[in-house]
Amino acid sequence: MSLVLVVDDEPQIRRALRTSLEAHGWEVATVGTGEEGVVGAAEIAPDLLLLDLGLPDLDGTEVIRRIRAFSQVPVIVLSVREGQPDKVAALDAGADDYVTKPFAMEELLARVRAALRRAQTEEPTPAVLNFGGLEVDLARRLVSRDGEPVHLTPTEYGLLEALVSNPGKLLTHQWLLRKVWGQGYGTETTYLRTYIRALRKKLGDDAQAPALIVTEPGVGYRWVAELAT
């Protein structure tokens, strides 16, 4: 049974989350402040943390930074803040996902299940990844689609490598730019959009109905294809 720690200063939200999560078989602990959230993450070692940003003592992004100093527990942010800067700040601080309040409980439960699956199966990335007809050989830096080579530029390959190495995670524009282009970058989102568009075309992914790369408007991108069994 997985343990979920809920950090939210609204008692009604804590009660609602406890009821829904426990009904689906998860054990739940709840706290109402950021300090309690940091201590709880250390002392009870939850399998996942649901975190509000607007806490009475610490901002949620500071809670994430403190937790990331000692734990890689999956963190899903729940917040009324809809602004892109807030989402980017939380994700760059180390959050795994971001859900805006009010939210549909079924959507949240699906994200919780996905985050727990990633955490439970997390292990070194295999050298060769197969997503149906798409194969990515990370050791040889080779990509093929339905058995045919896909010729990528170094930048396109760097983007693909970053995405497939972090499946399901919401990767911000800033993170991707710094990862692929270097630490001197972070705001050149036009570059990123151009290369993502070219990468999608070469991989045969339709931006209107993506099976590989999903756009999170104004925030970043997420690799959604699952490994073939």
| pLDDT band, very low/low/confident/very high, at 130 (cuts 50, 70, 90) | very high
Residue 150 lies in a domain: yes
Q: What distance separates the 2 farthest-apart alpha carbons in the chain? A: 56
Confidence (pLDDT) at 87: 84
* Range of the structural domain that residue 111 is part of: 3-121
List, for residues 186-196, the tens digit of each pLDDT value.
688 898 999 99
One domain, residues 116 and 13: yes
CATH number at residue 172: 1.10.10.10
Q: Above 90 in pLDDT, residue 85?
A: no
Over 80: is that where the pLDDT of 97 sits?
A: yes
Provide the pLDDT confidence category of residue 204 given band limits of 50, 70 and 90: very high
pLDDT value, residue 122 = 60
Six-digit token pair at 218? 């104004």
Same domain, residue pair 137 and 48: no
Which tens digits make up the pLDDT trace of 39-74?
999 889 899 999 999 899 998 999 998 898 788 899
Q: Given a cut of 70, is residue 226 above it in pLDDT?
A: yes
Q: Which of 7, 5, 171 is nearest to 73 (CA)?
A: 5
Residue 28 in any domain: the answer is yes
Domain boundary among 73, 98, 121: 121
pTM of the predicted model over 0.85 = no
pLDDT band at 36 (very low <50, low <70, confident <90, very high): very high
- pLDDT at residue 112 above 80? yes
- Quick one: 114 and 145 in the same domain? no
The separation between CA 176 and the C-alpha centre of its own chain, rounded to angstroms, equals 13
Do both 111 and 184 map to the same domain?
Answer: no
Does residue 62 share a domain with residue 80? yes
Give the residue from 35, 42, 3 showing the smallest Cα distance to 21: 3
Whether 193 and 208 share a structural domain:
yes
Same domain, 104 and 51: yes
Is 228 part of a structural domain of the chain? no
The domain that contains 116 carries what CATH number? 3.40.50.2300
The set of residues, in sequence order, having a beta carbon less than 8 Å from that of 170 and lying 6+ positions away, is 91, 96, 97, 98, 216, 219, 220, 221, 222
* Alpha helices for the chain (secondary structure H): 11-23, 34-43, 60-68, 84-93, 105-121, 154-164, 173-180, 189-203
Q: Burial letters for 107-133: b for 16+ Cβ neighbours within 10 Å, e otherwise?
A: ebeebbebbbeeeeeeeeeeeebebee
- Nearest Cα to 133, choosing from 121, 149, 118? 149
> Does pLDDT of 211 surpass 70?
yes
Share the mean pLDDT of the chain.
Answer: 89
